[in-house]
Structure 1
Amino acid sequence: MIYFITPADQIWIIHNLIDRLDEDVRPSVRPTSYHDFYKSLDIVEGTVVFTGLGVLTEVQREIAIELADQLTRSDLNFRVMNNPQKALGRFDLLTELHTKGLNSFRAYRLSEISLDEPNFPVFIREEHNHTGTVSDIINDPEALKNALTEVQNRGFKIESLLAVEYLDTSDETGLFRKYSVQKFGDKIIPRYLSLDYHWMVKENSALPDGRELYTDERVQEEVQFMLENPHEEKLREIFETAGINFGRIDYSLLNGAVQTWEINTLPTFGGYPGIKKQNPKRKKRDESKRIFYDLLSRAMRELMDDHIGEVLTISISGHLRKKNITGTAKTNFG
């Protein structure tokens, strides 16, 4: 069996994942939430994946750590993925990647730095949530001071914010490329190649003059990326550094070197090829989607265990049951 443990309000992401798997794989995937362990729950030997690590509330994180501890101490055969005791959060990951020479840029907690410490330009983003940037590009300490005041006036707390050094990874035409790959256990599979003329790359951005962003040549570039997975070796090192076995990494290239922006441990799964309500702009990229979902089922199939395993009954301890787990995770998807 393969269990995915999520924040309760985001369990639908795993249901979407199941819908996109081959029929023979679906019965082996079980979605559950951190809330479910307030009562005893039987877990069959197999794989247990902790997700949403970046957006867990403090109580949910305590629960995740205790559950992982019970699984790893068990005499039964469990494969624990994204162990919350070992997986690095965004700030710690970016710090470690820069220290190891795997990223050319640094991130700083705004509550802990002097405003002239970073190499400018920088931008501000939240440490935990997957909301992208919360500021424009900032070019000097005075502008950073003003931007910090502005985002605090919008309700952001300084303790939750990072200043991230900006890298211009655009090509000679000004086009930015954001690559994404997904890790499933030992498998690293390409997810998509996103394009934009804005530095904060979004899927399916429209050009203001009506031109088509994903030309036939660029669609083929994405397909080639999907088939070749050219950065797999370096990405494997980055995932290992992060302590993450399931998640999506978003990155760009600077002079040919991988620059990691983040790893999302509960990525969403878009509509599969051929659905009626599909975005027309995304439809022309159906071939890359087919490649991904085919590789996805293969990767999940390798995590399946053919034998019927023994059962471990686990639940959270009494002192955690007294704490309030109600409400949602911090926000967005982690």
Structure 2
Amino acid sequence: MKPMTLAPVKRRVIHFVTLREHGYTFANAMEALDARGVHAVHVPWDTVFASETLAHGTWVLADFERLPPGALVAAGKVYRALKAAGCRVLNDPARWLPRADLMRALEVEGVNSYRCWRPAVQEWPDRWPVFLRRASGHTGAASGLLGNLDEARAALEAALDEGLPISDLIFVEYAAEPVPGRTYFRKSAAFRVGPQVLRAISVHGDDWLLKRGTSEHATESDYAEERAEMTVYPHEDFVWKVFEIAGVEFGRVDFGLRAGRLEVWEVNTAPNVRPPYEHANPDRTETVRLAFEGLVTALHGLARTPGEPVSIAGAFRRHRAKGTGHAMLHHL
């Protein structure tokens, strides 16, 4: 882990911060920004924590889902140091809600109708079906659908036997439903980029988890509807509310339709930004292009001309005094 290199930069600049191995999520956006004259830089969290001085400019702090609590505290100190120096900074670690807390908050606010339970505090499902998953990261389900308490207990024991910590496990009520009149599922999505909400592309497939879609499931009418929503987006107010509850200024929300109402599945602070591609359906091709161009344009508008370097030497001095500062994320 080496400190940030502070080479002179005359162009407007934007920095994206993730764990080192997840820089690929912003790679396509960074390439497009660079082509438009913006100096786009990936800065791993371990580099941030090994530095006493960071470059001035715009910073997008991300990948909170994979940071341990101690690192989130340090990241919050960095956020405040950058803000105090006049940088534009998106995503405050102190205000971000992790998955289980976000699910609870969305239910309390009436956004979601489904629930989650923490077995670590002896919470057990009382509505079915459910599935078990890790609260951190984006690893998907740790079980299939579970229909009763005996199955839930067995799934938890199996996860613990694998070494998954109970503090990171939650039961989540099943909240998916096939597209009305169809046999396949749809995952809708939208980005927030600072002051803007942007529709993202939907994915379709026969798996309710929908990590990735398959093109053979969507119809021409699906693609036509998606293309129309790139011009007039009907869910903008809904998406704004979700991001405000989540405490996220940059990220992607994934959601679906169940029983006629929208249900939020997750908010990702480091979503994978995929480039445009050709599709057999021309509406889909255009939607993919518009979604990518809209995101890059919004990020381009956030980039700033750099000023004087920013000292963060005092941001987590206590950790360094104990000899842990530079190695704070070594295990990651």
Structure 2 match to 1:304? 303
1:265 equivalent to 2:269? Answer yes
2:93 maps to what in 1?
84
Query: Could you tell me the TM-score, scaled by structure 2's length?
Result: 0.85
C-alpha distance after superposition, 1:178-230 (max 9, x if no partner): 10111111111111111122221232337xxxxx3133333323323333322
Q: Which residue of 1 aligns with 2:115?
A: 106
5 Å-filtered alignment, 1:14-93, equals: 14-21=26-33, 23-27=35-39, 29-37=40-48, 38-44=50-56, 46-72=57-83, 74=84, 76-93=85-102
Q: Percent identity?
A: 26
CA distance in 2, matches of 1:289, 1:328: 37
Separation (CA, whole Å) in 1 of partners of 2:15 and 2:281: 31
Asked if the contact 1:180/1:248 (under 8 Å) is kept, the reply is yes
Describe the SS at the equivalent of 2:36. Answer: coil
Q: CA deviation at 1:8?
A: 2.0
Q: Structure 1 unaligned runs (5+)?
A: 207-211, 275-279, 330-334
C-alpha contact 2:99 2:266 (8 A) present in aligned 1: yes
Give me the TM-score of the superposition, normalised by structure 1. Answer: 0.85
Secondary structure at 1:289 match in 2:
helix
Instruction: Summarize the Cα distance change of 1:197–1:22 in structure 2 as closer, same or farther, 3 Å threshold.
Output: same
CA-CA distance at 1:50 after TM superposition = 1.1
Q: Does 1:123 align with 2:131?
A: yes
Matched to 2:328, the amino acid is I
* 1:51 CA drift (Å): 0.4
Question: What is the CA–CA distance in structure 1 between the aligned matches of 2:312 and 2:299, rounded to whole Å?
Answer: 24
Kindly provide the amino acid, as one letter, of the partner of residue 62 in structure 1.
Answer: V
CA separation of 1:187/1:94 partners in 2, compared to 1, >3 Å: closer, same or farther? same
What code does the residue aligned with 1:215 have? T
TM-superposed deviation, 1:4: 1.8
AA at the equivalent of 2:303? M
* Structure 1 counterpart of 2:312: 314
* 1:17–1:269 contact (8 Å) kept in structure 2: yes
1:204·1:282 contact (CA, 8 Å) conserved in 2? no
Q: Residue in 2 aligned with 1:9?
A: 21
Instruction: State the secondary structure of the residue aligned to 1:294.
Output: helix
Residues 300-325 of structure 1 deviation map (CA, whole Å, 9 limit, x = unaligned): 122133x5534422245443232233
Q: Distance in 2 between matches of 1:299 and 1:256?
A: 31
Quote the offset at 1:92 in angstroms.
0.9
Deviation at 1:25, TM superposition (A): 4.7
Over the aligned positions, Cα root-mean-square deviation in angstroms equals 2.4
Instruction: Please give the alpha-carbon distance, in whole angstroms, between the structure 2 residues aligned to 1:22 and 1:30.
Output: 9
Corresponding pairs, count: 313
Number of the residue aligned with 2:4: none
1:182 aligned partner: 191
Partner in structure 1 of residue 328 of structure 2 = 325
Alignment equivalent of 2:224, drawn from 220, 224, 227: 220
Unaligned runs of at least 5 residues, structure 2: 1-12
